[in-house]
Amino acid sequence: MYTILLATYNAEKYLNELLESIEKQTEKDWYLIARDDRSTDSTLDILNSFKDKYPDKVNISVNIRQLGSKDNFAMLFTEAKKKGADYVLPADQDDVWFPDKIEVLSRNMHKLEKHLGEDVPMIVHSDMVVVDKDMKTIADSFFSYAGIDKRAHIYKLPMQNNVTGCASIMNKALVNGIAEYIKQDAVIMHDHFAALYACVFGRIFHTDKATVYYRQHDGNVVGAKNYRNPIYIFNRLTKNSKQYRKDLEATYSQCDEFVKIFGDRVYASYKSGDITNDKDYRYRRGAMNLIKEYAALKYKSKPAKIKFYFTYHAWKKGIGRKIMQILWA
């Protein structure tokens, strides 16, 4: 069973298109858990109409109080864990899925699990087609457009997430490992936290095939920016230093929380015999130490931070972003 997690808030403008794209999936063995964050428009009516069509495949709940997107997803992950979901696919309320999204991502996931085992926490994520509010194509590849690496490198992931939740599938081992912690204040977003966990304790795999139309509009919580656009670069360099530092502080705090939660698990797993491969142990220990060192940059001087970037080749893509790292780190 492929469990789709949908957090909604005032989604009436685009929600029908998302639900129609779920309805058209070539893989029919899906189950939708939707959680509404006290919408004031017709979002619930749209969800209930969808449930009327698929009463055995849709579960809808409404938060007692408004939580915000991150905590709403935290509730959904907790619910998915309680239900024993085999695979989880987070969904954004304003996107449109390719008809073969579940089929493509699940096929790659099954290959990985066959090779590595189902108990290994794993994410498979794909590229996306960036579109405007009217579904007109802006870019055929989100990775290229936004200047984001396809591969999740442990030396870059603490500061910059490259796994977009709405274009991913996560297995049970991953969901069970992170579900209870996503609600922590220091966690930035479920997909970034999940990527850190999978990168240290399991595997992340990407596919070049796009599976989502990633819609850009005025209400995006997180959007795609053209990293080569001179206006975007100029604005970031001249106007957004405070926001840049704030975002950077958030990544330090998230990594610090990650180490507090999982820091002792690597050695404990090795001592108990859960990790029998010395190479895997050395990698996990090194990855956790790197995340710990990155979190400690919060208290370091600018030269110390720049030294970290050079030592680990932890530079973001694009000359503009590298300049920002040097100026505002």
- Same domain (yes/no): 206, 305: no
If asked whether residues 52 and 75 sit together in one domain, one would say yes
Question: Residue 220: pLDDT band by 50, 70, 90 thresholds?
Answer: low
pLDDT of 74: 97
Which residue range(s) make up the domain with 242? 230-328
Domain boundary among 215, 241, 259: 215
- pTM score, two decimals? 0.92
Residue 309, pLDDT above cutoff 90: yes
- Residues 15 and 101 placed together within one structural domain of the fold: yes
Tell me the average pLDDT across 267-287: 80
State the chain's mean pLDDT as an integer: 92
Give the domain-ending residue among 188, 215, 242.
Answer: 215
Alpha carbons 120 and 16: distance in angstroms, whole number: 35
Average pLDDT (12-40) is 98
Residue 239 binned pLDDT confidence (cut-offs 50, 70, 90): low
CATH number of the structural domain spanning residue 155: 3.90.550.10
Tell me: do 300 and 185 sit in the same domain. Answer: no
Distances (CA, A) of 237 to 224, 257, 297, 326: 18, 29, 22, 11
Q: Which of 59-68, 71-80, 165-174, 231-240 has the lowest mean pLDDT?
A: 231-240
**One domain for residues 206 and 237:** no
The residue ranges of DSSP E strands in 132-254, in sequence order, are: 137-139, 168-171, 203-215
Three-class secondary structure of residue 108 per DSSP: helix
- Comparing 38-42, 259-263, 282-286, 323-327, which segment has the lowest mean pLDDT? 323-327
Classified as helix, coil or strand, 99 is coil
Q: State pLDDT tens for residues 67-101.
A: 999 999 999 999 999 999 999 999 999 999 999 99
For the cut 80, the answer to whether the pLDDT of residue 296 exceeds it is yes
Chain position carrying tokens 């189902």: 118
* 221 DSSP assignment: S
Q: Is residue 147 part of a domain?
A: yes
Comparing CA positions, the residue from 211, 69, 157 lying closest to residue 77 is 69
* 225 domain-assigned: no
Question: Which of 192, 215, 238 represents a domain boundary (last residue)?
Answer: 215
